[in-house]
C-alpha cells in the first residue's frame, strides 16, 4: 500500500468569523455605480488653471504621457472637466440607471489624478468652488443618485499644506521644519530630503496613520470623514486599503457611521479580501468592523479569462470562492468592475491588440473586425457584471465603446462625439432591468447547468426570477424549463425551451419588463 503524503490526505476549508451585527447599507444594494475621473468626463463652465498647470485646447487630444528632461511625467496637463460639467450630464447618467457616482479624488492637488492631496478640506479649484460642489450634491440627490468620494489617506502630495515642500502654502509644513505640527505625520529617514513615500514615489510622501494627530484629523469630530459626509457625501472608497492599518480603517468606519449611520466604506483590495495577507499580516477587512465592500477584481479577472479562454471553469471557480468566503451582506455589496482608472479599458483588453510601449499605445486602435468581436464579448461581460451578486460599476466611457491601454490612456476624455449607440442602448436596457427587478438586491445565486462552453444560472426572490444563459461554443444550445419565460431583450415569450445562439447570451425572466 502506498503511503500518502500529508498534503494528499487533507482538504482545506476557510471559515471567516465576523461580528453578529455586521450589516452593509441597504441603499447601495441592487443599484448601479458609475466611476468618474473628474477632469476627463465633461467640461462645464471655464475655469482658469493655476500656475504650473496647463489646459488642453482640444478635448479629444490624448493625455500627456511623455517624460520631461528629468525623466518624470508631471501629470500637470488638464482638460477642464468639472462639477458643472458632471451636473450637465446627470440626466445622461440617470438614463443609464445610475444610483451611485464614485468620484476619483476631488481635493485640491497639483496633479490631474489628484492622488497627491494638497488640502483635504478644499475642493480643487479646477473642479469648481464650494457652491459648485454643493449644487452637484443637490442635483444628484434630486435624481436619486448618491455620491462617494475617493479617500486617499495613506499619503499626501509633497506639494501640500501638510508637507509643503515647495512653500506654496501659508502654513509651516513637515518638510520645512521639525517644528511643524505636521512633522509627526511623516517618516523622515534623513530630514528633510529623505522620507518614506508610496512605492518610492517622492511626490507622494507616506503618512503615519498611527500618529494620533493625523488619525484625529481624518477620523475625529469635525475631521475629514465627518466634514464631507455632513456635506452630503454617502461614503468613501479607500485608496490602497492594504497600506492602511486595520485600526485606522476601523476608525474611518466609525467616523463615517457617526456622521451618517448608513455610510458606505469600500476598500481597494485586488485579491480575495476575506483572507488577504498584506505586509505579513492577515487583514480583518470583512470581520464586521472595517469595510462594507471591496472592488471585485477577482471577478473581473475571472470574467476576462472566461471570455478569452472560452472555458467556464475559471469563472465558476471564482463565483464559488466568493460565495464561500464572503459574508452575504458583503457579497450583495461587492463593487463589480470590468475596468478602472488603474487598468486598461475592458474593450481594449478583450480586443487583445498588442502594444509594446507608450508610443504604440498612444496610436493603436482596433480594426472594425476586432472591435466588433470585442464588443460582443463586452456585452456578455456586462450581463455577468449586472446579474451576478454585487453592484455593477461602469467605468466612465466603457458603455460607449471607449478604448485605451493602461494609465494614462485609460483616462482619456469621454468621447461625447463618438458614442456607440448600440452598446449604449445595451447598457441602458441592463440598467432598466436592475431598476425594475428588486431581486438583485439580495437574492441567492444558483447554478442550473454548466459545461466547458455554457453556463446557466438563476437569481430569484419572491415572485421574481431571472435565468442567465451564456453560450461561448460554436453550436446552438437549448435550455429546457417548465412553464413560460420572457426574453428580456427581445421581449419574446418561450414555453418549455429556449435556444441560445453561439457566442451569445440571454436573460430570461418570468416577468415581461418591456425594456
Q: Give the end of a domain, one of 144, 172, 207.
A: 207
Sign of the four-CA dihedral 467, 426, 87, 337 = positive
Q: Does 264 map to a domain?
A: no
Query: Could you give the CA distance from residue 251 to residue 248 in angstroms, rounded to a whole number?
Result: 5
pLDDT at 10: 67
Which strand (E) or helix (H) includes residue 108? strand 107-109
Q: Does 51 map to a domain?
A: no
- Cβ atoms 330, 285 nearer than 8 A: no
Would you name the residues annotated as active-site residues? 239, 268
- Cell output for 290: 472595517
pLDDT at 48: 86
Q: Does 310 map to a domain?
A: no
pLDDT at 459: 98
pTM for the structure as a whole: 0.97
Q: Give the end of a domain, one of 144, 176, 207.
A: 207
Q: Does 173 map to a domain?
A: yes
What range defines the domain where residue 484 resides?
Answer: 444-509
> Domain tally for the chain?
2
Range list of β-strands (E), 358-463: 391-395, 444-450, 454-461
pLDDT at 5: 56
pLDDT at 50: 87
pLDDT at 51: 87
- Cβ atoms 396, 404 nearer than 8 A: no
pLDDT at 8: 58
pLDDT at 1: 45
Query: Could you give the CA distance from residue 125 to residue 8 in angstroms, rounded to a whole number?
Result: 61
Q: Does 234 map to a domain?
A: no
Q: Does 104 map to a domain?
A: no
Task: Please report, for the domain that includes residue 493, its CATH number.
Answer: 2.60.40.1180
18's CB contacts (< 8 A; 6+ apart) are 286, 287, 288, 327
- Cβ atoms 123, 454 nearer than 8 A: no
111's CB contacts (< 8 A; 6+ apart) are 74, 75, 76, 157, 203
Q: Does 384 map to a domain?
A: no
- Distances from the Cα of 76 to the Cα of 128, 157, 162, 170, angstroms: 17, 13, 20, 22
Query: Could you give the CA distance from residue 485 to residue 390 in angstroms, rounded to a whole number?
Result: 24
- Find the length of the chain: 515
Q: Does 197 map to a domain?
A: yes
Query: Could you give the CA distance from residue 476 to residue 482 in angstroms, rounded to a whole number?
Result: 20
Number of H helices, E strands in the chain: 14, 22
Give the pLDDT means over successive 10-residue stretches in the chain (515 positions).
55 89 98 99 91 95 94 95 99 99 99 99 98 99 99 99 98 98 98 98 98 99 98 99 99 99 99 97 98 99 98 98 98 99 98 94 96 98 99 99 98 98 98 98 98 98 97 97 94 94 97 90
- Cβ atoms 47, 402 nearer than 8 A: no
Query: Could you give the CA distance from residue 338 to residue 395 in angstroms, rounded to a whole number?
Result: 8
Amino acid at each position: 500500500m502506498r503511503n500518502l503524503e500529508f498534503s494528499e490526505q487533507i482538504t482545506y476549508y476557510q471559515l471567516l468569523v465576523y461580528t453578529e451585527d455586521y450589516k452593509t447599507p441597504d441603499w447601495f444594494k441592487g443599484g448601479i455605480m458609475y466611476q468618474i475621473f473628474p477632469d476627463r468626463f465633461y467640461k462645464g463652465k471655464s475655469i482658469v488653471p493655476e500656475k504650473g498647470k496647463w489646459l488642453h485646447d482640444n478635448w479629444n487630444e490624448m493625455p500627456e504621457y511623455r517624460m520631461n528632461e528629468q525623466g518624470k511625467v508631471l501629470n500637470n496637463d488638464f482638460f477642464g472637466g468639472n462639477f458643472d460639467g458632471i451636473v450637465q450630464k446627470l440626466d445622461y447618467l440617470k438614463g443609464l440607471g445610475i444610483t451611485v457616482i464614485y468620484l476619483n479624488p476631488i481635493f485640491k492637488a497639483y496633479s490631474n489624478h489628484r492622488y497627491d492631496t494638497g488640502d483635504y478640506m478644499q475642493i480643487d479649484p479646477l473642479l469648481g468652488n464650494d457652491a459648485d460642489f454643493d449644487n452637484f450634491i443637490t442635483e444628484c440627490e434630486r435624481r436619486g443618485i448618491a455620491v462617494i468620494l475617493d479617500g486617499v489617506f495613506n499619503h499626501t502630495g509633497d506639494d501640500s499644506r501638510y508637507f509643503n515642500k515647495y512653500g506654496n502654502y501659508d502654513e509651516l509644513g513637515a518638510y520645512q521644519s521639525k517644528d511643524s505640527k505636521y512633522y509627526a505625520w511623516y517618516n523622515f529617514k534623513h530630514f528633510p530630503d529623505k522620507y518614506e513615500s508610496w512605492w518610492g514615489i517622492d511626490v507622494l510622501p507616506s503618512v503615519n496613520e498611527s500618529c494620533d494627530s493625523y488619525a484625529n484629523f481624518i477620523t475625529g469630530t469635525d475631521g475629514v470623514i465627518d466634514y464631507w459626509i455632513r456635506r452630503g457625501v454617502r461614503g468613501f472608497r479607500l485608496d490602497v486599503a492594504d497600506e492602511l492599518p486595520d485600526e485606522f480603517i476601523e476608525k474611518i468606519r466609525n467616523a463615517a457611521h457617526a456622521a451618517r449611520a448608513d455610510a458606505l466604506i469600500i476598500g481597494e483590495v485586488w485579491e480575495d479580501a476575506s483572507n488577504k495577507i498584506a505586509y505579513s499580516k492577515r487583514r480583518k477587512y470583512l470581520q464586521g468592523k472595517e469595510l462594507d465592500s471591496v472592488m471585485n477584481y477577482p471577478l473581473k479577472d475571472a470574467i476576462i479569462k472566461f471570455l478569452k479562454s472560452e472555458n467556464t471553469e475559471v469563472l465558476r471557480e471564482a463565483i464559488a470562492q466568493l460565495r464561500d468566503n464572503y459574508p452575504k451582506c458583503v457579497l450583495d455589496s461587492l463593487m463589480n468592475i470590468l475596468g478602472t482608472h488603474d487598468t486598461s479599458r475592458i474593450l481594449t483588453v478583450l480586443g487583445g491588440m498588442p502594444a509594446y510601449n507608450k508610443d504604440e499605445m498612444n496610436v493603436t486602435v482596433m480594426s472594425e473586425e476586432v472591435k466588433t468581436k470585442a464588443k460582443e464579448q463586452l456585452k456578455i461581460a456586462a450581463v455577468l457584471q449586472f446579474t451576478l451578486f454585487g453592484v455593477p460599476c461602469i467605468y466612465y466611457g466603457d458603455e460607449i465603446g471607449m478604448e485605451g491601454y493602461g494609465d494614462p490612456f485609460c483616462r482619456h476624455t469621454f468621447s461625447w462625439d463618438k458614442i456607440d449607440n448600440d452598446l449604449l442602448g445595451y447598457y441602458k436596457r441592463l440598467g432598466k432591468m436592475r431598476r425594475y427587478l428588486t431581486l438583485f438586491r439580495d437574492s441567492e445565486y444558483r447554478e442550473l447547468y454548466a459545461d466547458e462552453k455554457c453556463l446557466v444560472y438563476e437569481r430569484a426572490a419572491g415572485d421574481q426570477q431571472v435565468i442567465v444563459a451564456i453560450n461561448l461554443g460554436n453550436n446552438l444550445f437549448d435550455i429546457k424549463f417548465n412553464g413560460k419565460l420572457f426574453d428580456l431583450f427581445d421581449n419574446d415569450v418561450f414555453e418549455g425551451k429556449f435556444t441560445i445562439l453561439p457566442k451569445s447570451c440571454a436573460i430570461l425572466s418570468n416577468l415581461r419588463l418591456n425594456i
